[in-house]
Amino acid sequence: MPSPNASYSITLRLQLAAEDARAIGRVTTTIGDADGAVAAMDFVDTTQDPVTVDITVNAAGSDHAEAIAKAVERLDGVHVHRVSDRTFLLHLRGKLEVRPTVPLKTRDDLSMAYTPGVARVCQAIAAEPEDARRLTIKGNTVAIVTDGTAVLGLGDIGPAAALPVMEGKAALFKQFAGVDAWPVCLDTTDVDEIVRTVELLAPAYGGINLEDISAPRCFEIEDRLRERLDIPVFHDDQHGTAIVALAALHNALRLVDKRLEDITVTVCGIGSAGNAIARLLLREGVGDVVAVDRPGILASEMDDLDHVHRWLAERTNRAGRRGGLREAVAGSDVFIGVSRPDLLAPEDIATMRSGPIVFALANPDPEIDPVLAREHAAVVATGRSDQPNQINNVLAFPGVFRGALDARATAITDDMKVAAARALADVVAPDELRATYIIPSVFNERVTDVVAGAVRDQARRDRAVAPTS
């Protein structure tokens, strides 16, 4: 069973006989015996008989939470008055709101923020369109665009069901980078319609964050939007993951005393994230990439490859390996999985070169149990928050967009992604580096500023910035 965690947190409102001094002890013991974790306790009302008590419990899943509640209900002298799912309570009425940033208390306020004064600002933008980045929300606003076809590990659940994730993404943008982002959940999966809709919406935004759009459609959507828009377009499932993975790899290689240009990296799962990771590794000068997908190891002579697989097949696997994952991993220095659970065995890691590095990033269940992986690997990373070395996109996208918006960037280039990865890696000081700490925490206060600065400076070097009026 997975460990209890806050995502399956419930609050049990209990009524206990006032004279029963041992009731609380029996309740907490029962919760522990049911493998639950008591997170908090609050006496709501002790003036009445029975006494009302709230106990917050972390469970490992919905069925586990229900079993804990039933176990408590069976206790003599204990009545479960109500069970509240704390995650659902947190999401009631959504997680976002809009507030004005200027006072609107007097006639003077209204005459400047709205009519008639606003007309002067409209005329200024009509004369100098780039002033919209300075005089409107465009300079600090990102559209989070999805069609709901590849949401987390849930798959194609549609745009309405994707909205809670997009709200969460917007909250992260604001919390970590001060960027105002807004969900744009589109009720279409047609590539032409998505591209055209985003084009029509783009004047109000300083950047487009594509999110949870299934491959291979996501590649075409991003490519077409990058061609047509003069603002950054960034598919976070691809490039955010790639930036953080590259940063973690730089630090892992320092631990095992290897150079990027000397190693072979097996990338398993050439969807959106795997494709971007492989491409960024090639951009950074990795020795070789062995790309593995459902057809096996990608090779240039393979028939029926789509253009994404074909591009990689022609630029990877220099040693001409054949076969599946096991053949790819043997003799590799690094395994990066963005595929599905339980594909890699400990004995496979044993066939890798000395000091093997394993990034098992399938979420929530990785390609190999991290505990088993550590028996053979020098460094292990996952996508999970309950494990060391979490490869989490939130380490990248807030700073990437903060830097791009500050630079008035018109695009996010490959060199900007590499700069972001190098800067992120350097947040971990040499004296802090260890096998369980190759990437900073998402709550490290330096991360966003460091990544933003690297992206901003690289955007200016790349001349990928809008003209100033």
Upper half-sphere CA count for residue 277 (Cβ side, 13 Å): 32
DSSP 388: S
Could you tell me if 346 and 370 are in contact, meaning their C-beta atoms sit under 8 angstroms apart? no
Whether 114 sits among the annotated catalytic residues: the reply is yes
DSSP string of 254-318? HHHT--GGG-EEEEE--SHHHHHHHHHHHHHT-SEEEEEETTEE--TT-SS--HHHHHHHTTS-T
Token output for 408: 């008035």
Distance CA 45, CA 110 (A): 48
DSSP string of 342-367? S---HHHHTTSPSS-EEEE--SSS-S
> Residues 169, 205, 258, 417: which is the catalytic one?
169
DSSP 15: E
DSSP string of 167-217? HHHHHHHHHHH--EEEEEE-S---HHHHHHHHHHHGGG-SEEEE-S--TTH
Torsion of CA 197, 202, 207, 212, to 10 degrees: -10
Sign of the torsion formed by the C-alpha atoms of 420, 424, 426 and 427: positive
Residue 181 has φ and ψ, to the nearest 5°, of: -115, 155
Residue 73 has φ and ψ, to the nearest 5°, of: -60, -30
> Residues 8, 70, 95, 114: which is the catalytic one?
114
Distance CA 143, CA 207 (A): 6
Which residues carry out catalysis? 114, 169
